[in-house]
Amino acid sequence: MGGRYRDMRHWMYDHYLDYPSFEEALKHSYPGICPDDWAWLCHNIYNSASFQTQSTKNKANRAKLPYVHCGGSKPFVNYLEDDMVDGEIELFRVTHFSKTKGWVNEVAHLNHDQMVEIQQQQQIDPQEAKPLTQREICIEVLGKKSGYFRGLGNGPRPTSNHGFDTSEVDRLHGIISSQQSRLDSQDVELQEQKKTIDQLESILSQFEGMMQQFFSSQGSAFRFTDSATQ
């Protein structure tokens, strides 16, 4: 049922975007959705300020990506856990290269070649007692954010051999103290955000109830066609 909800939300929003204006979209309900429910969706979700703001942020974030993967919806970490690939470098290749279409773009191709070159160079002429692991090579080439490895998705953060000395502890205390001061000064803003979240949760609850009623009314006759999934 969760998958159906996600697919339906996607298809209905695509239907909404097919029309040049809010007024035009409002006149053309999604097939199988009654006009009153469609009007509620348009007014309370698609045309709401919070939805538009989040949509704009999502588009901006996608635009910053140097490339997208072709690994489908399967979480990247599952490839490793299921022994489908031999390490992170092969994982990058599998999720960014297709036998029929080739590499997703030249940047991904060059990054992969650079990772393979580093790995092969270590095997031919190791310069360090402890060579880099595949994950560490990927991080060196692709970069990383907290808890997220670019090109590899979410995963456990790599371990570090560096300890903390007194100056580092003092610095951490200073950062924590500074952060706490910022949080205190932003209390009013956080309360406003909580109100927005509560409103969104209420809207989502109504939406899910409407969708449950819709699927129940369709019964066993409801089928997803191949054309609807495109």
pLDDT at 165 over 50: no
CA distance 106 to 121: 22
Give residue 90's domain range.
Answer: 76-154
Boundary (domain end) residue, out of 107, 138, 154: 154
Boundary (domain end) residue, out of 154, 176, 211: 154
Q: Are residues 26 and 90 in the same domain?
A: no
Number of domains in the chain: 2
Give tens-digit pLDDT for 137-148. 888 888 765 444
Region 149-171: what's the mean pLDDT?
46
CA angle, 222 then 217 then 22, to 5°: 85
**Confidence band for 23, pLDDT divided at 50, 70 and 90:** very high
pLDDT at 200 over 80: yes
Residue 182 lies in a domain: no
Residue 177 lies in a domain: no
Q: Are residues 55 and 81 in the same domain?
A: no
Region 37-62: what's the mean pLDDT?
75
Q: Are residues 14 and 80 in the same domain?
A: no
User: By C-alpha distance, which of 89, 85, 109 is closest to 97?
Assistant: 109
Boundary (domain end) residue, out of 118, 136, 154: 154
Q: Are residues 85 and 147 in the same domain?
A: yes
What is the residue-averaged pLDDT of the chain?
Answer: 70
**Confidence band for 172, pLDDT divided at 50, 70 and 90:** very low
pLDDT of 203 reads: 85
SS3 content of the chain, % helix, strand, coil (to 5): 65, 5, 30
Q: Are residues 90 and 29 in the same domain?
A: no
Kindly tell me the number of DSSP H helices and DSSP E strands found in the chain. 10, 5
Residue 201 lies in a domain: no
Q: Are residues 53 and 85 in the same domain?
A: no
Residue 144 lies in a domain: yes
Residue 135 lies in a domain: yes
pLDDT of 28 reads: 92
CA distance 56 to 46: 12
pLDDT at 24 over 90: yes
Q: Are residues 147 and 81 in the same domain?
A: yes
pLDDT at 192 over 50: yes
**Contact at 8 Å (CB) between 79 and 70?**
no
pLDDT at 69 over 60: no
Residue 208 lies in a domain: no
Q: Are residues 57 and 101 in the same domain?
A: no
User: By C-alpha distance, which of 148, 126, 125 is closest to 135?
Assistant: 148
Q: Which of 87-96, 169-178, 208-217 has the least mean pLDDT? A: 169-178
CA dihedral 98→101→105→107, nearest 10 degrees, is: 40
Q: Are residues 6 and 26 in the same domain?
A: yes
Residue 178 lies in a domain: no
Non-local (6+) Cβ contacts of 161 within 8 A are none
Q: Are residues 84 and 127 in the same domain?
A: yes
Q: Are residues 50 and 119 in the same domain?
A: no
CA distance 26 to 38: 7
Residue 98 lies in a domain: yes
Give tens-digit pLDDT for 89-110. 888 888 888 888 888 888 888 8
